[in-house]
Amino acid sequence: MREPRNPFRLRASEHIESDETFVRLFSPDVLDMLPDNLWDKHQIIRSAPGGGKTSLCRLFTPKSLLTVHALRTRDYTKDIFQRLKKLDAISDDKPLVLGIFLSCSYSYASLDDLNIDSTKKQRLLLALLNARITLAALNGALTLKEHSYPDDLGKLSIRLQDDIPLDLGLASPCNGQELYDWARHLEKTVCDALDSFAPLEDFNLQGHETLFSLNFINPDSFSYDGMPITKHILIMLDDVHHLTKNQRRFLLDSIIASRLPVSIWIAERLEALDVDEMLSLGASQGRDYGSVVTIEDYWRGPASKKFEKTISNVADRRASDAKDAEIGSFAGCLQDSLDGAEFQEEFHKGAETVAKRAREQAERQQRYSEWVSERDNLSGTPREIAIAWRTLEILIERDKRKAQQGFDFKLGVDELEHRDDSAVRAAAEFFFCKEFNMPYYFGLSRLATMASSNIEQFLWLAGDIFEESVSAALLKQTLSLSPKRQETILKKTIKEMWISLPQKVKYGNGVKKFLESIGKFAQWETNKPNAPYAPGVTGIAISMADRDILRNPDKTGKDPDLAQLARILTSCIAYNLLEVTLNQKCKGQYWMVLNLNRMLCVHFDLPMQYGGWREKTLKELIIWLKKDFVPSKKEQLFS
């Protein structure tokens, strides 16, 4: 299949058919989230949709590793090869991992619909997993050895462990063909029972008590021409969120409780987590299942600055892969400054307007005369001067709102410098852009921020930007989009997302209504003339005690409003619409902070920076679920 001219449209890895294209587009920085003891412990990998779980798993499959090895000297593959080599996943000679990839999105959940007791359902789930893991392992082993599947199965030899049940009809040792025939028969029997209208008793289905297949699919038992298949074997169970709640819990407990000779990755969307698990995100993980990587949390943690570098690498790889236009880097598609000649006159006029207002304040109150004089003598670019005057206006407004002012003495320049900080200047830039219709949402850095630590969200936003750049290149026009054009494209793209939100997330209508209330509240707080929470409010917080109430089924079970709020919050977090930070200390208390996805900040015309949030009670949030946000009389009085 011919790849599309816009590689940013290739978002889900399963839609990238070519292994070479997949490897070429994969950023090696993503591998940094994996722990050092990669082959010693099981790994749970979680994210919102589009976080990159499946892409990470795909890289460790035989075809991808063989592709990396074959192309290891290419410029676009050197870094990936070296990172995989450091992880002991590949060597100069060959791949060192047999990665067995299995999606849990097919058939498994249907087992829970059978009219049999839960124990039999569990046994059938294990039987179907044993069959499909075995078939995937046989396929992967021949692929790794670059032989044909299933034609060359006879070249594989499997030594069964002593604890394998004797009634399975397997002899030890057996060859790959014999194991294949056994697994195919087992899979067919279970699937026929699922598809049949006949009673289950008509089928000879005993099921299995354990995932015993993982005991013989290991480096010591799995061999090719008498030699071990490879150094490491990795089982990757993807889409575990498609299992039912009971199946998922049973499977996780079964795997973690077992001492298995292989590494297992469990990849699932956050939507699989229940309310308690979801509202615990951000706390220390691993108490139940060992090592857990929540992809968005990783990018928001110590690696937060690295996310922009990583998605820049992702974007450059895709830009250079465009078929119909030669575009060396994605950053080249974006003008990232307002210092160009076309904006200077607008900044100059805006600065004059703001300066006039500040001078009028100083004429009425001599207290600010030295501050105004300092700004009159300021030098710099038109943009710097304009932002400086708008900053001064905010500082004057703050000073005027003080509850008590002892004397109307003049404030000196030293005091101005003391109060003039980066947060106030950021608020001033935001206010100025809004007032004078200047672009604010543009440039690679802000585009990276809009992605809210989700790579697919970045690709989706960047796709429309890149599409226009490619069109411009084909027409022999300047491919670097102006800040205004970038902002127009991004706002249109995000508006489309907002309109379709109810169809894409669980409890979609309630989620949209709740987020709209948060957005309106954030606008109300952000647009206050004195910018009290500079650069602006972009989130809310509930106390950790209130968070514990929402986690408590005894509490939510007795109060439908609390239960609904818990469900809505859980859905917002699962789909990366609210970003969680736990145990944020403020005013002597600890809070669960819920920041709006930065893409929603664009939708609600809010600043992009983090840090501005306001405390809310559960009662207030429940009101928001039922009605739109309306400022209280007290809030209006102090606005």
Residues 593 and 559 in one domain: yes
Average pLDDT, whole number, for the chain? 89
- Let me know whether 61 and 127 are in one domain: yes
Nearest to 311 by CA among 326, 325, 294, 296: 296
Summarize pLDDT for 261-274 with one digit per residue, the tens.
789 999 999 999 98
Encode burial over 346-370: b for 16+ CB neighbours within 10 A, e otherwise.
bbeebbeebbeebbebbeebebbeb
Q: Are 384 and 452 within one domain? A: no
Does residue 312 carry a pLDDT above 90?
A: yes
With contact defined as beta carbons under 8 Å apart, do 322 and 6 qualify?
yes
* Contact yes or no for 515/498 (Cβ under 8 A): no
Give the residue from 532, 524, 529 showing the smallest Cα distance to 604: 524
Lowest mean pLDDT of 94-103, 177-186, 488-497, 623-632, name the range. Answer: 623-632
Supply the angle between the helices 118-144 and 176-195 in degrees, to the nearest 10.
Answer: 140
Closest CA to 175 of 206, 142, 144: 142
**472 within a domain of the structure (yes/no):** yes
Whole-angstrom Cα distance, residue 261 to residue 213?
11
Query: Would you say residue 233 has pLDDT above 80?
Result: yes
Which among 386, 405, 435 is the end of a domain? 435
* Residues 426, 511 within the same domain: no
How far is Cα 525 from Cα 617, in angstroms, rounded to an integer?
A: 17
Helix (H, G, I), strand (E, B) or coil at 223: strand
At residue 303, the pLDDT reads: 75
CA 506 – CA 275 distance, rounded (Å): 13
DSSP one-letter string for 152-186: TGGGEEE---TTS-GGG---SSEEHHHHHHHHHHH
Taking alpha carbons only, the member of 545, 268, 270, 312 closest to residue 451 is 312
Contact 101, 136 (CB under 8 A): yes
* 7 assigned to some structural domain: no
Tell me the pLDDT tens digit for each residue of 483-511: 999 999 999 999 999 999 999 999 999 99
HSE on the CB side for 508, CA within 13 Å? 9
* Total tally of structural domains belonging to the chain: 4
Asked if the model's pLDDT at residue 189 lies above 70, the reply is: yes
For 506-542, write each residue's pLDDT tens digit: 999 999 999 999 999 999 999 999 999 999 999 999 9
Same domain, 296 and 161: yes
> Is residue 1 included in any domain, yes or no?
no
* Higher-pLDDT residue of 244, 220: 244
Tokens of 51: 């976080």
- What number is the average pLDDT over the span 428-441? 97
What's the angle, vertex CA 272, arms to CA 268 and CA 278, rounded to 5? 110
Secondary structure of 261-322 as H, E, C letters:
CCEEEEEEEHHHCCHHHHCCCCCCCCCCCCEEEEHHHHHHCCCHHHHHHHHHHHHHHHHHCC
In sequence order, which residues have a C-beta less than 8 Å from that of residue 393 and are 6 or more positions away? 354, 357, 358, 361, 428
**CB contact set of 335 (below 8 Å; sequence gap of 6+):** 442, 443, 480, 481, 482, 483, 486
| pLDDT band at residue 40 under the 50/70/90 scheme | confident
Is residue 288 very low, low, confident or very high in pLDDT (cuts 50, 70, 90)?
Answer: very low
pLDDT digits (tens, 9 = 90+) for 546-565: 999 999 999 999 999 999 99
Confidence of residue 289 (pLDDT cuts 50, 70, 90): very low
Q: What's the rounded Cα separation, in Å, for the pair 598 and 6?
A: 24
Least confident of 193-207, 381-395, 449-463, 547-561: 193-207
Q: Indicate if 269 and 321 belong to the same structural domain.
A: no
**Which residues 6+ apart lie within 8 Å of 619 measured at CB?**
none
Per-residue pLDDT at 201: 57
Per-residue confidence (pLDDT) for residue 17, from 0 to 100: 79
Give the pLDDT of residue 426.
96
Residues 484 and 590 in one domain: no
Res. 405: pLDDT tops 60: no
Q: Would you put residue 46 in left (φ > 0), alpha (ψ -120 to 50) or beta? A: beta
Q: Are residues 34 and 137 in the same domain?
A: yes
Asked, for residue 4, whether it belongs to a domain, the answer is no
Residue 307 located in a structural domain: no
Whether 146 contacts 66, CB under 8 Å = yes
Query: Is position 12 within any domain?
Result: no
- Tell whether 101 and 153 lie within a shared domain: yes
User: Is position 2 within any domain?
Assistant: no
Give φ, ψ of 119 to 5 degrees.
-65, -40
416 lies in the same domain as 455: no
- What pLDDT sits at residue 205? 72
Q: Strands across the sheet with 97-103, in order?
A: 97-103, 232-238, 263-269, 43-47, 291-294
Strand order in the sheet with 578-586: 578-586, 589-596, 539-543, 613-615
- Rg for the chain, CA atoms, rounded: 29
Least confident of 402-416, 472-486, 554-568: 402-416
For residue 415, the model assigns a pLDDT of: 92
Tell me the two tokens of residue 486. Answer: 């970038």
Polymer length of the chain: 639
As a dihedral over the C-alpha atoms of residue 257, residue 252, residue 36, residue 315, rounded to 10 degrees, the angle is: 170
Range of the domain at 607: 505-637
Boundary of a domain, candidates 277, 300, 323? 300
**pLDDT higher than 80, residue 429:** yes
Residue 287 predicted with pLDDT over 50? no
Strand pairing report for 578-586 and 156-158: unpaired
Q: Is the pLDDT of residue 286 over 70?
A: no
Q: Are residues 567 and 598 in the same domain?
A: yes
Q: Identify whether 101 is part of a domain.
A: yes
Give the end-to-end CA distance of the chain in Å, rounded to a whole number. Answer: 59
Instruction: Give whole-number Cα distances, 120 to 185, 194, 200, 405, in Å.
Output: 19, 13, 11, 77
Lowest-confidence segment of 158-167, 459-468, 593-602, 622-631 by average pLDDT: 158-167
Range with lowest mean pLDDT among 9-18, 256-265, 302-311, 572-581: 9-18
3-state secondary structure of 3: coil
- Which residue would you say has higher pLDDT here, 469 or 403? 469
With pLDDT > 70 as the criterion, what percentage of the chain qualifies?
Answer: 93
Q: Summarize the confidence of residues 162-179 as an average pLDDT.
A: 78
Residue 285, pLDDT > 70, answer: no
Tell me the mean pLDDT in the region 179-186: 94
Q: Do 520 and 493 belong to one domain? A: no
